[in-house]
């Protein structure tokens, strides 16, 4: 729905020809744009508060370029591309202006917005090997308008490293705890913090970690209250949820 159509709809509401609820429903049900290989949901931001994100894995550079350009032409000022492989980013950079963050495999078209969340999101990792997932989470949270505090390599093998950042833990509005191996970091932080903790198991670990399954099960069985869990290596999903919490009403 373009501006002229929205204006017409609002004029009908003003003239009492269409109710407010009917207008909201029409806006929410606005059709997608069919590119042939992709169907872009331009009104997702209206429905959910966050515009559509491009999942880069499995897409060709040409497909990503077309999707991003169409989004930009329709008024989306900041476009997030997740799981963007380095080799794809190199090809894409020849035809699309964006910034690539290799650690988190994140591409950002446009500027990262000024934070408008109510508080800070802390992203903590058990080890340095968890940083790729953490950077996916941290950059996603920043693109979604949040102030992010990074606490990396503060796992339970050296608990004093985490305890040195108690002020950050206590003042956070949401905490994303990212860990592989046995995934104990989420339980420890969950026992300290007074805010929601979102646990992200990673595929980091030796054979018996089963590609992150051991950490996932540990986090699911956490005895700390207020801990929720997303899928293995899903930094994006954790950041999206954290951003929703950080943009809700008063604490």
* Per-residue pLDDT tens digits for 122-163: 999 999 999 999 999 999 999 999 999 999 999 999 999 999
Assigned fold of 120-246: Rossmann fold (3.40.50)
Check residue 251 and give its pLDDT.
44
Check residue 95 and give its pLDDT.
86
Model confidence pLDDT, tens digit, residues 84-118: 999 999 999 988 889 999 999 999 999 899 999 99
The arithmetic mean of pLDDT across residues 2-24, rounded, is 83
108 φ, ψ to 5°? Answer: -130, 115
User: Model-level pTM?
Assistant: 0.86
Structure tokens, 11:
């004029």
149 φ, ψ to 5°? Answer: -110, 125
Check residue 47 and give its pLDDT.
76
Query: What is the rounded CA–CA span in Å between residue 182 and residue 171?
Result: 26
- Domain span(s) for CATH 3.40.50.1970 in the chain: 120-246
Closest CA to 68 of 48, 89, 47: 89
Q: Is the pLDDT of residue 213 over 80?
A: yes
Cβ(144)–Cβ(79) below 8 Å: no
Q: Is the pLDDT of residue 3 over 60?
A: no
Q: Is the pLDDT of residue 4 over 70?
A: no
Alpha-carbon distance values, 172 to 121, 122, 179, 199, 201 (Å): 6, 6, 19, 15, 20
């Amino acid at each position: 729905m373009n501006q002229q159509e929205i204006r017409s709809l609002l004029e009908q509401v003003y003239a009492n020809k269409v109710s407010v609820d009917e207008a909201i429903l029409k806006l929410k049900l606005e059709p997608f744009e069919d590119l042939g290989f992709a169907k872009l949901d331009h009104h997702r931001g209206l429905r959910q508060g966050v515009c559509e994100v491009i999942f880069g894995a499995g897409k060709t550079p040409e497909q990503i370029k077309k999707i991003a350009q169409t989004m930009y032409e329709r008024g989306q000022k900041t476009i997030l591309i997740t799981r963007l492989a380095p080799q794809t980013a190199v090809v894409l950079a020849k035809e699309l202006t964006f910034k690539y963050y290799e650690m988190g495999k994140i591409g950002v078209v446009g500027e990262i917005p000024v934070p408008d969340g109510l508080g800070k999101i802390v992203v903590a990792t058990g080890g340095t090997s968890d940083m790729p997932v953490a950077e996916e989470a941290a950059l996603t949270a920043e693109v979604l308008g949040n102030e992010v505090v990074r606490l990396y390599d503060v796992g339970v093998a050296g608990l004093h490293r985490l305890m040195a950042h108690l002020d950050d833990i206590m003042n956070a509005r949401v905490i994303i705890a990212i860990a592989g191996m046995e995934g104990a970091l989420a339980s420890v932080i969950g026992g300290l913090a007074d805010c929601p903790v979102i646990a992200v198991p990673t595929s980091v670990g030796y054979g018996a970690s089963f590609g992150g399954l051991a950490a996932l099960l540990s986090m699911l069985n956490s005895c700390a209250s207020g801990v929720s869990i997303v899928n293995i290596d899903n930094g994006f999903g954790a950041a999206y949820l954290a951003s929703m919490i950080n943009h809700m009403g008063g604490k």
